[in-house]
Amino acid sequence: MPAKKKRPPQEKKRLSLERDRRNDTSRNDKASRKLLPRRRAEKSRKFRRISRQVLGGDAEGAKIGAVRREVWKKEPGVALGAHVKELKTRRASMVGVKRDQDAVMCTRERATGNLASRLIDARIRELGAEEEGWRGSTLARMRALVLDADPELIEEWKWKVPVWSHPRYGIICTGETYKKVVKLTFAKGAKVPDPKGLFNSSLTGNTRRAIDIRKGEKVDAAAFKALVKAAVAASGGAKPDEKKAKGKSARTPKSERVVLLSGGNPQIAKGDGDAPVQAYIAAMSGGGDGWKRDFGRRLDAMIERVVPGVRKAVKWNSPFYGVKGQGWFLSTHVLTRYVKVTFFQGRSLKPVPPGGTEKSKEARWVDVCEGEFDEAQMEKWVKQAAKIPGWMI
């Protein structure tokens, strides 16, 4: 009988590793078989949750959900995405909107414009189809009064309720429906004067006020319209004259305030013509340094006088001056203690402006500090620079 061949240590180690790997795989298979029912249950719960979200929990949706759950149990591999898309399309047809993904998402989240109006119409029809139907007629009447009070108000659909907003001042009021009341909530009602006493709910808060309308009640139309107008004014719609009459100073809106960059240089949007340049000059007084604005005006007037038909623009937060067909010859920039006036072909001027480095190539500049504006010399430089082909950009 032949003797057994001894396996080398490396072969023994390899075989041991393979045996351990097979055992681990077997154990994992058993564990996965135990987890399979749990995973199916999790998918089923996810299925029911999505069905409720998309279909809103109505009777027709419940029927569809029941059928789909049976399919899910029999075929766990059914694609969830295709099922959700079908449910969303079904929901879209229920409220009478377009059968596309964007419209369906709007029905569950938010919408504006014509789509919001159609959703509000559908809500009123749904309430009107009830056995009594008073909530639908009440909501329709209050909606008409809101829109009649201020033509600028727009309709939106948020939080599954109608919302009436002003394009500049935000939400004015919402129309909510409950089992026993139709509630009109004013977003800033605490600031709204209510001489007729229409507010009868949410009276203790610091921000909102509401009107609860019960079955058989009717709100005075004229008083309600006046309340809506007052709400628009309280949200920021009062005219400047009215604000001054109350002793309040009119503040500049944040959107109109000029941002000052490093060194106090105004941030002005790019634009051609005199208007953006004048806006830049007007903002040069930032930080209380009125002399910079005066210098900008004097320089601008001098350039207009010396170079008839001068071309102007603001680029990279700096005013540019040029000649049509020849490019730009001069630019200014505000820094903390001086205003920098750059001539793009400064090396060709006589005398050459003092500022410049090797990297600046042909450009040279002069730093004008407070009280150091040599207008005569600046005029000579401007005359020369306007005759030389400038920077073409």
Tokens 């109505």 found at: 58
Domain finish residue from 47, 64, 97: 97
Are 128 and 89 in the same domain?
A: no
Query: In this predicted structure, what is the pLDDT of residue 379?
Result: 92
**Is the pLDDT assigned to residue 108 strictly greater than 50?**
no
CATH number for the domain including 379?
Answer: 3.90.1150.200
In a domain, 160, yes or no: yes
Residue 176 three-state SS: strand
Are 180 and 115 in the same domain?
A: yes
CA dist 147 and 145 (Å) reads 6
Are 87 and 146 in the same domain?
A: no
pLDDT > 70 in the chain, percent: 67
Are 325 and 358 in the same domain?
A: yes
Query: In this predicted structure, what is the pLDDT of residue 96?
Result: 46
Q: Which residues contact 217 (CB under 8 A, 6 or more apart)?
A: none
**How far is C-alpha 218 from the chain's CA centre?**
38
Residue 218 has which token pair? Answer: 């009717």
Phi, psi of 77 (to 5 degrees): -85, 5
In a domain, 202, yes or no: yes
**Is the pLDDT assigned to residue 381 strictly greater than 90?**
yes
CA dist 187 and 209 (Å) reads 7
CA dist 235 and 252 (Å) reads 16
In a domain, 1, yes or no: no
Average pLDDT over the chain reads 77
Region of poorest pLDDT, from 60-64, 199-203, 229-233: 60-64
Domain finish residue from 241, 270, 285: 241
Do the strands 339-343 and 271-272 form a parallel or antiparallel pair, or are they unpaired?
Answer: unpaired
Residue 314's closest CA among 284, 270, 345? Answer: 270
Query: In this predicted structure, what is the pLDDT of residue 81?
Result: 55
CA dist 378 and 380 (Å) reads 5
In a domain, 167, yes or no: yes
Are 332 and 363 in the same domain?
A: yes
**Is the pLDDT assigned to residue 14 strictly greater than 50?**
yes
Q: Are 231 and 173 in contact (CB under 8 A)?
A: yes
Query: In this predicted structure, what is the pLDDT of residue 31?
Result: 55
Q: pLDDT by residue (tens digit) across 328-366?
A: 999 999 988 899 999 999 989 999 999 888 888 889 999
Q: Dihedral angle at the C-alpha atoms of 108, 110, 111, 116, nearest 10 degrees?
A: 70
Are 217 and 292 in the same domain?
A: no
Are 212 and 168 in the same domain?
A: yes
Q: Are 97 and 89 in contact (CB under 8 A)?
A: no
pTM over 0.75: no
| DSSP secondary structure letter of residue 107 | H
Q: pLDDT by residue (tens digit) across 321-334?
A: 999 888 999 999 99
| Half-sphere exposure (Cβ direction) of 258: Cα atoms closer than 13 Å | 20
Residue 220 has which token pair? Answer: 């005075």
Length of the chain measured in residues: 393
Q: pLDDT by residue (tens digit) across 73-107?
A: 555 545 455 555 555 555 554 444 344 334 434 44
Taking each helix axis from N to C terminus, what angle separates 59-74 and 9-55, rounded to the nearest 10 degrees?
A: 160
Are 164 and 140 in the same domain?
A: yes
pLDDT > 90 in the chain, percent: 25
| Half-sphere exposure (Cβ direction) of 25: Cα atoms closer than 13 Å | 6
For the chain, the C-alpha Rg in angstroms (whole number) is 37
245 falls in which pLDDT band (50, 70, 90)? very low
Q: What's the whole-number mean pLDDT along residues 189-216?
A: 88
Q: pLDDT by residue (tens digit) across 31-64?
A: 555 556 666 667 666 666 665 555 554 445 555 5
Q: What's the whole-number mean pLDDT along residues 110-126?
A: 79
Domain finish residue from 190, 212, 241: 241
Query: In this predicted structure, what is the pLDDT of residue 74?
Result: 52
Q: Are 191 and 149 in contact (CB under 8 A)?
A: no
Are 55 and 130 in the same domain?
A: no
Do the strands 271-272 and 311-315 form a parallel or antiparallel pair, or are they unpaired?
Answer: antiparallel
In a domain, 292, yes or no: yes
CA dist 106 and 177 (Å) reads 20
In a domain, 13, yes or no: no
Are 283 and 380 in the same domain?
A: yes
Q: Is the dihedral of CA 32, 33, 37, 40 positive or negative?
A: positive
Are 269 and 382 in the same domain?
A: yes
Beta bridge partners of 191: none
Q: Which residues contact 61 (CB under 8 A, 6 or more apart)?
A: 51, 52, 54, 55, 87, 90, 91
Domain that holds residue 48: 38-97
CA dist 249 and 240 (Å) reads 9
CA dist 328 and 385 (Å) reads 9
In a domain, 102, yes or no: no
CA dist 53 and 301 (Å) reads 66
Structural domain tally of the chain? 3
Q: Dihedral angle at the C-alpha atoms of 74, 75, 79, 84, nearest 10 degrees?
A: -10
- For 41-96, the DSSP string reads HHHHHHHHHHHHHHHTT-HHHHHHHHHHHHHHHH-TTS-HHHHHHHHHHHHHHHHT
Are 212 and 264 in the same domain?
A: no
Query: In this predicted structure, what is the pLDDT of residue 54?
Result: 52
Query: In this predicted structure, what is the pLDDT of residue 206?
Result: 83
In a domain, 87, yes or no: yes
